[in-house]
Structure 1
Amino acid sequence: MKPSTSSATGNTQQSPTENDNRKPPPSPLKDNITSIETRLMDYIGQKFDALSVNLADFKSSVNSQLETLSNTVATFEQRIRQLEFKTTELSKQNEENPEITSLNNTISSLHEQLNAQDQFSLRNELEISGITEAENENLCHIIATTAQKIGVKISEDDIDMINRVGTRHDTNNQPSTTQSRPIVVRFIRNSKRNEMINARRVRRNLSTTDIDLKGPQNTIYFNERLTKTNRKLFRDARMRAKEFGYRYCWVKNGQIFIRKEGQKYAKIIRNERDLNELQSGQSFK
């Protein structure tokens, strides 16, 4: 028998070099990914181009609006300067115009006369502060007791009106000096009011303990009732008096007085002009 050969059996094996040179078949998945990446990059590029255009338009719009605003501001500033100039000129003309000056003086005089009339209507009224406010208080009894302590005899016939004035504070039914409103007493006669004030000056240490009121001991003060204008004027006068060396500042019969230590006569403060004369050193009666 003849020996069989490997070629005859059909089992001939290829060399490793031939197997390595063979290319793998194309992958559909890879082609799809590449296509998606390409389309995505094109889309992103288009969006960036559109955004660049929008930013350029926005920048141009903002610059245009800023320019318009700047021009508007410049116009307003020019108008303001013109108005300030006109106002200054008008003020100068008013100061130089005797008719306007006379009119202003007349208006000021009328205000002072009205204030004087209002003050005269308060000539019988006494303002008492420092008395603790309480619910269901008997003001007539409190005032009668206070008057008795300073040696003044009063009756209900002497009193025309009595009440607390000012904004009411919620004290939660607890006595409070800081929240107590002042008491205003309108007497029938001015002489009785003045008698109360003079007696209080003698009894300097009058307090709520002296009239048997509950709560902390508080000093009781008597003052003439003043108009709103005169209250402010009196407050300013006290400040100016302290500033310019006037030791005394007080109210009597609705008029405000100041006096330096050693001076024989007091000065009357009727208005703001009198206060300004204190500062300038001018003398007035």
Structure 2
Amino acid sequence: MQEIIEQLKSDLNDKEQELLLNDVDITNLPEANGENPIHTALLVASKLGLNIEERDIVSAERVGARRISAADPVTTPGLLPIRPRRLVVRLARRDLRDRMLASARSRRGATSADLDLPGPPMRFYVNERLTKQNGQLFRQAREIGNRLGWKYIWTRRGRILARQKPGDSVCLIRSEVDLRQIFETPTKSCK
């Protein structure tokens, strides 16, 4: 019975992840009061060298809890959060999302300079959006992998993948059980 429940949970997570295949997460992007998230997403796309239009964005919004800064509002007007909330952008087509991710990879180190955002320029990151379960699993995999010296741990289309070193086979991580099996005996569990 427990196996069936775990399988159903896994299937639900896979379906949820499939619904997020057109979404990207933009993190560490300065946030201001009254900003237009769609405009901000267009600015980021432009900074990454993509020419997309407003109609290519289905939705864009800041998600997460807003943490108020203890900074003096007189010296830092418009800056509220200590750490800006992430900007979640849903694009109209998957190929746009893939192009945005590829552009972000090729322009690593892009900053918020020239985006007319408040505060000093900050390096921002564009990643594919993961379900809560996959996000937690990915963080755990990176922590364990870094501790054990694994060179590559990444996501592709919502799947968590790992490779110990170049030339090794790629391991698919779908659950905490996979984490234990893969990182304890990497050569036996990867296909």
TM-score by length of 1: 0.61
Per residue, is there more helix in 1 or in 2?
1
- Tell me, yes or no, if the aligned pair for 2:145 and 2:183 is still in contact at 8 Å: no
| TM-fit CA distance, 1:176 | 5.7
8 Å Cα contact 1:251/1:257 also seen in 2:
yes
User: 1:152 corresponds to which residue?
Assistant: 50
* Aligned AA (1:121): L
Equivalence map 1:123-142=2 (5 Å): 123-142=21-40
Whether the 8 Å contact between 1:244 and 1:278 is mirrored in structure 2 is no
Whole-Å separation in 2 of the counterparts to 1:177 and 1:248: 32
Aligned residues: 183
Tell me what 1:143 maps to: 41
SS in 2 for 1:239: helix
Q: Secondary structure at the match of 1:208?
A: coil
Question: Which residue of structure 1 aligns with residue 102 of structure 2?
Answer: 198
- Asked if the contact 2:57/2:91 (under 8 Å) is kept, the reply is yes
Provide closer, same or farther for how the CA distance between residues 121 and 224 of structure 1 changes in structure 2, counting only shifts above 3 A.
Answer: same
Partner of residue 239 from structure 1, selected from 143, 153, 162: 143
Structure 1 residue 264, shift from structure 2 partner: 4.2
* Equivalent-residue separation in structure 2 for 1:144 and 1:190 (angstroms): 16
Amino acid at match of 1:183: L
Q: CA RMSD in A?
A: 1.6
- Asked if the contact 2:67–2:82 (Cα under 8 Å) also holds between the matched residues in 1, the reply is no
**Stretches of 4+ aligned residues off by more than 6 angstroms:** none
| Distance of 2:11 and 2:163 partners within structure 1 | 25
- Aligned counterparts of 2:47 and 2:35: Cα–Cα separation in 1: 19
How far is 1:260 from its partner? 1.7
Higher relative contact order, chain-length normalized (CA < 8 Å, sep 6+): 2
Structure 1 Cα separation of the partners of residues 80 and 110 of structure 2:
18
- Cα distance in 1 for residues equivalent to 2:115 and 2:88: 17
Which runs of no fewer than 5 residues in structure 1 stay unpaired? Answer: 1-102
Between Structure 1 and Structure 2, which shows a larger proportion of strand residues?
2
Instruction: Quote the Cα distance in structure 2 between the aligned partners of 1:176 and 1:204.
Output: 26
How far residue 268 of structure 1 moved from its aligned partner, in angstroms, is 0.9
Whether the aligned pair in 2 keeps the contact of 1:123 and 1:190 (CA below 8 Å) is yes
Question: Which structure 2 residue ranges, 5 or more long, are not aligned?
Answer: none
What TM-score comes out, normalization by structure 2 length?
0.89
Question: What is the aligned-residue identity percentage?
Answer: 36
Whole-angstrom distance in 2 between the partners of 1:215 and 1:118: 35
Say whether 1:252 aligns with 2:150. Answer: no
Corresponding residue for 2:4?
Answer: 106
